Structure 1
């Protein structure tokens, strides 16, 4: 059912609750369970104030498309067309590298709604910033054990379009939070979080064995991801398993020191993939080219772990 006061769509399955904010970038506003009257947040919840202000950075999660992460200085060329993201688009620390695509900045339409399933849709016309017309959808399916989300991006233009998809969940960083995931290498970033080198770093080894997130301070892309991650909150004896299907073959970890949240993101390309593609292979930067009418889709899940 829809709560018009806060512009939320609410789904339920067993003890699990999902709240969506279609008008705020088609974002997830909250994902939590209620057991014995107590609420436990799986994702960092958006407040009513954040929703009313449409504070994109305060949502629980949102879709990344038609590119993931950053484009260097908002400029790239592809197929004789120029990508030129104007100043004012949300950007990184330097303010020069626009973030997270276009979808999270637009209101989405509720195309289907059921107690445990909702489909959101988006249509975007070509313009001087992103010169391809596209459509997108997010399918949210809830069951008592977890959430499955499928993101789809379709090229509705007359020319091939570069494409990337993913999701950007914000998890609570509670005391003692641990993360375990297996990857092959990490893109080192410069002071503006732009990729400068790919290495099997110490962080790769630590994450493979599981690490307390309080020991890390990262905003990095990882390659060779094995499509699974485990989050443990020892103080609550609770844990989550996140999994993803191809083409969500890359993993981003945003874990700022001292913050009350972190982001573990399943994505189909690394930062600035469109500008790096002429120097690196698809296994290193990812990304897809969609022919007119072609669709790129990928699913990721969150489930309670034992």
Structure 2
């Protein structure tokens, strides 16, 4: 079932398939602000208390779309001999999280067929100049106990552009009782301002780790296959699975006792635009004129025996 509802005065779409109830606000980042598991009645995401709360803190609610993800050091980079500048919006030094998470998206498709609910939205970027001909289509599908996210990025211009996409997925997380696992290979060494130095180090695996009082704002290289983050609670298990295009994870949980966890899948690492490393390491992609590319992630809900 698909309904058009009001969320604190904002137009929203609510979709329910009997297993999950999803709420999207297309006009503000096409953000999935709520995902409820029907069997347990649990809200799975950090849902904003109001639309103004979402506007004030757009990155820590729901599933914000980051294009490109995380920081661009100094808000500047060079591509094919030309210097590009992004607006400085973090600690007066860097650009962070891109250009679509708080912008209006248009609704392209709403349908329910063969047991799958599909909501597709799209955005034509207007700024910065390098992305003036970038178009992103974002398709959410509800199928059983799975929320699938497919992003298609298109270059409708006459010049190539570098790109990356990520999701700042904010999950409710009970640090006292929940465990966290993550498929990863190495950890990126970061500066005090969370910019990768270009070095990767081996780290211990995350296997059913208790994160109570363990603050994280760390970046990891993802596993080449079976890439996933897993949250296991007392009566529910959530698996966040991605395709191989997502080469990195950033994991953020504030001070480790705030009741949330953000396992953030990225196709390219923070500041990939400026790192002097191969694209197969950073994940940075380039779209030529007329080309498009797609990436997929999904949240899967199950119940421990």
Contact 1:6 1:52 in 2 (8 A): no
More helix by share: 1
CA RMSD of aligned residues (A): 2.0
| 2:48 aligned with 1:46 | yes
**Superposition map of 1:234-253 within 5 A:** 236-253=234-251
**Superposition map of 1:112-191 within 5 A:** 112-115=109-112, 116-128=117-129, 130=130, 132-174=132-174, 175-191=176-192
Q: Deviations over 1:236-273 (max 9, x none)?
A: 32111111112112111112222221110111100000
Contact 1:132 1:161 in 2 (8 A): no
Contact 2:184 2:205 in 1 (8 A): no
User: In the alignment, what sits opposite 1:73?
Assistant: 74
Q: Deviations over 1:119-172 (max 9, x none)?
A: 0000013545x4542100110000221100101111122111001012221011
State which of 85, 104, 107 in structure 1 corresponds to 2:104: 107
TM-score scaled by length of structure 1: 0.88
Q: Deviations over 1:91-115 (max 9, x none)?
A: 2xx3422211111131100111125
* CA spacing shift, 1:281–1:43, aligned 2, 3 Å: same
Contact 1:241 1:304 in 2 (8 A): yes
User: In the alignment, what sits opposite 1:271?
Assistant: 270
C-alpha separation in 1, matches of 2:41 and 2:135: 36
3-state DSSP of counterpart to 1:200: strand
User: In the alignment, what sits opposite 2:11?
Assistant: 7
Q: Deviations over 1:22-62 (max 9, x none)?
A: 11111111011223xx6201211122244674641342112
Contact 2:86 2:128 in 1 (8 A): no
Unaligned runs of 5+ in 1: none
C-alpha separation in 2, matches of 1:53 and 1:126: 20
**What is the total number of aligned residue pairs between the two structures?**
291
Unaligned runs of 5+ in 2: none
3-state DSSP of counterpart to 2:193: coil
TM-score scaled by length of structure 2: 0.88
C-alpha separation in 1, matches of 2:229 and 2:154: 28
User: In the alignment, what sits opposite 1:33?
Assistant: 37
**Superposition map of 1:85-104 within 5 A:** 85-87=86-88, 89=89, 91=90, 94-104=91-101
3-state DSSP of counterpart to 1:105: coil
Contact 2:54 2:61 in 1 (8 A): no
